[in-house]
């Protein structure tokens, strides 16, 4: 099948603005028929995320060339062999890490750590090792996190998909594949926020703002939003944060500990992807508290940490991937919260655009002028 897709040929080295350097090219590519335990999906909506941007700017190297995009929703149009539990016409959300269901981590309920899924993502292939995309010259293109959602159609493993309620608009559904799953999951699963606890959210992109909505849904009593952007701090207050502060301010930590809390927050979550932000989140967490990071900094980044603080104050520092979720369980649950009005994630969408405008979208994202932008397909 011949389709249009946004292809990245080089990770890093692209000058700004992206509207001029155009790191992503819109090309006609061929998508092969789905194989064993695979389906063909007509993409209906795909979100632009900082994780995509990290591949474009070289902070998250991936095998090239690649059809980018990992946050998407669509309709199944064709089934491969041995497909169970899915039918043509089903509406689905992609999970950006396939869960094999058989490795030790999947069997113990930790799908975010699936070994075969991580291996496939690192190699730019589907879960079974397939590559289903090639250009008009027959050259093979890589898959992005088992999704490659910046395209009119995608072949995916059934282990990368979650069936959803058909009443949910596609542009809303796509958000649950990354921003919502990661942000809300970090709060309710990784940090384990309990009703009445205080929460700090550092880094107010789509994932961070999802975390604020998750903290509200979890019953947090005090939600402090931190960023270096006044505009994002204003948005966070509109979303329901009880306090906001510029984390780069010299007095920020003192203000948080002495004026906003009694010595620090119970739980903090960080999504900025910068070491000063994680350092701030950890130092803002009180004794016995939990700090979670779900960001993806440059691979060479390092955190300076005094182990005596961990011991003497019994603090916990945790990593979070995929929101520590089991997508087949948590995505439907989070969608139900959205339908009940308890996760108003539609607020995250600031722009919609066409595939041809994707470089404009990533320039907006890199410049901090957007939260979640959704590509809509006919």
Bridge partners for 372 per DSSP: 349
Residue of 214, 163, 216 lying closest to 332 (CA atoms): 163
Q: Could you say which residues of the chain have pLDDT below 50? A: none
pTM value?
0.96
Beta-sheet pairing, 285-293 with 71-79: unpaired
Instruction: Name the segment(s) of the chain with CATH classification 3.90.180.10.
Output: 2-177+344-376
pLDDT of residue 299: 85
- Domain 182-322 listed as CATH 3.40.109.10: no
All CATH 3.40.50.720 domain ranges of the chain, comma separated, are 182-322
Rounded CA separation 263/257 (Å): 4
Q: Which tokens belong to 208?
A: 């961070």
Kindly report, residue by residue over 121-154, the tens digit of the pLDDT.
999 999 999 999 999 999 999 999 999 999 999 9
The CA distances from residue 110 to 107, 179, 309, 310, 339, in Å, are 7, 19, 28, 25, 26
* Maximum pairwise Cα distance, the chain: 64
**Two tokens, residue 2:** 């011949």
Q: Could you give the CA distance from residue 40 to residue 151 in angstroms, rounded to a whole number?
A: 12
pLDDT at 298: 83
164 vs 258: CA distance, rounded Å: 45
Pick the CATH number of 2-177+344-376 from 3.90.180.10, 3.40.50.10860, 3.30.70.1290, 3.40.190.10: 3.90.180.10
Q: Which two tokens stand for residue 203?
A: 């880094």
**Per-residue model confidence as pLDDT tens digits over 272-295:** 999 999 999 999 999 999 999 999
Cβ atoms of 321 and 97 within 8 Å: the answer is yes
Q: Which tokens hold the place of 40?
A: 């063909």
CB atoms within 10 A of CB 21: 14
The DSSP result for 22-51, as a single string, is: --EEEEEEEEPPP-TTEEEEEEEEEEE-HH
Q: What are phi and psi of 367, to 5 degrees?
A: -90, 0
């Amino acid at each position: 099948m011949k389709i249009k897709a946004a292809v990245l040929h080089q990770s890093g080295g692209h000058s700004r603005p992206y509207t001029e350097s155009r790191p992503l090219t819109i090309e006609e590519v061929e998508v092969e028929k789905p194989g064993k335990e695979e389906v063909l999906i007509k993409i209906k909506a795909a979100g632009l995320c900082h994780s995509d941007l990290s591949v474009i700017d070289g902070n998250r190297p991936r095998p090239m060339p690649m059809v980018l995009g990992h946050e998407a929703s669509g309709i199944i149009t064709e089934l491969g062999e041995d497909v169970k539990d899915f039918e043509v016409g089903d509406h689905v959300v992609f999970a950006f890490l396939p869960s094999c269901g058989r490795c030790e981590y999947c069997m113990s309920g930790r799908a975010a750590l699936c070994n075969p899924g991580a291996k496939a993502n690192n190699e730019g292939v589907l879960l079974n090792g397939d590559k289903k995309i090639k250009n008009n010259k027959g050259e093979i293109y890589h898959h992005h996190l088992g999704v490659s959602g910046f395209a009119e159609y995608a072949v995916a493993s059934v282990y990368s998909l979650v069936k959803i309620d058909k009443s949910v608009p596609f542009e809303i559904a796509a958000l649950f594949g990354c921003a919502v799953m990661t942000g809300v999951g970090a709060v309710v699963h990784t940090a384990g926020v309990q009703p009445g606890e205080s929460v700090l959210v550092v880094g107010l992109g789509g994932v961070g703002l999802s975390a604020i909505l998750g903290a509200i849904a979890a019953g947090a009593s005090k939600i402090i939003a931190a960023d270096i952007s006044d505009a994002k701090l204003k948005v966070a207050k509109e979303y329901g944060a009880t306090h906001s502060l510029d984390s780069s301010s010299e007095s920020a930590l003192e203000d948080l500990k002495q004026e906003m809390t009694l010595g620090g927050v119970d739980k903090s979550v960080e999504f900025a992807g910068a070491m000063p932000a994680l350092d701030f989140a950890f130092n803002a967490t009180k004794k016995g508290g939990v700090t979670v990071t779900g960001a993806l900094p440059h691979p060479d980044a390092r955190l300076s940490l005094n182990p005596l603080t961990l011991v003497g104050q019994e603090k916990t520092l945790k990593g979070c991937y995929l929101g520590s979720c089991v997508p087949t369980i948590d995505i439907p649950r989070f969608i139900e919260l959205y339908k009940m009005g308890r996760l108003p994630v539609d607020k995250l969408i600031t722009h919609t655009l066409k595939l041809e405008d994707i470089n404009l979208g990533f320039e907006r994202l890199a410049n901090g002028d957007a939260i979640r932008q959704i590509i809509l397909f006919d």
